[in-house]
Amino acid sequence: MSTLSHSEPAPTLEEVWRLFKETDRKFQETDRKFQETDIKLNKLEKLFTSQWGKLVESLVEGALIKIFNQRGIPVQHTYTRAKGNHQGRSWEVDIVAKNGEAVIIVEVKTTLRPDDVKRFIDKLPHIKTWMREYAGNIVYGAMAYLNAEAGAEKMAQNKGLFVIKATGDSAYLENPADFVARIY
């Protein structure tokens, strides 16, 4: 059964072609708008992630002196976002906690994953080269996190890293009292 009545003329080929072109133009415009929206959402996600990361870093940094002093590692000061370039390779350290002889390099992740642990361990042997002021210091590594996946926190501890869990308005050291950290 046809939906066209006998009194309506069939559309001409030109009309069908015009409707097809108009539909195609509308699809292209919709696709362009989706792409623009996707770009805006990606920028917004990066901004949120960056700000969230800075918040977690601030939370962890505020607790480091207390955490390590309680463990017998006297820390006098901390600073964040140490950056540099060595032989064309850029590097960044989230937090440095320091006393006269020891330096603790802290990597902060909102979600800690095993690959993060691997990358951080690969970075630690370079610290004394990248940050010449610490060439004569004992260097320890620490990973701080809000959430962990796939046992990454246990992996970090097994690799000799201090493990710091960020919670609420503070942070705490997860390593047992008899933990011996690896020196880099």
* Strands 102-112, 138-148: pairing kind: parallel
Residue 156 lies in a domain: yes
pTM for this model (two decimals): 0.72
Residue 25 lies in a domain: no
User: Of the ranges 37-51, 54-68, 97-111, which one carries the lowest mean pLDDT score?
Assistant: 37-51
Residue 4 lies in a domain: no
Residue 94 lies in a domain: yes
Residue 8 lies in a domain: no
Domain count, the chain: 1
For the chain, give the number of residues.
184
Confidence grade of residue 5 (pLDDT, cut at 50, 70, 90): low
Residue 28 lies in a domain: no
Residue 132 lies in a domain: yes
Pick from 104, 102, 83: which is nearest to 92 by CA?
A: 83
Domain that holds residue 140: 45-173
What pLDDT, on the 0 to 100 scale, is given for residue 6? 63
Confidence grade of residue 111 (pLDDT, cut at 50, 70, 90): very high
What pLDDT, on the 0 to 100 scale, is given for residue 179? 93
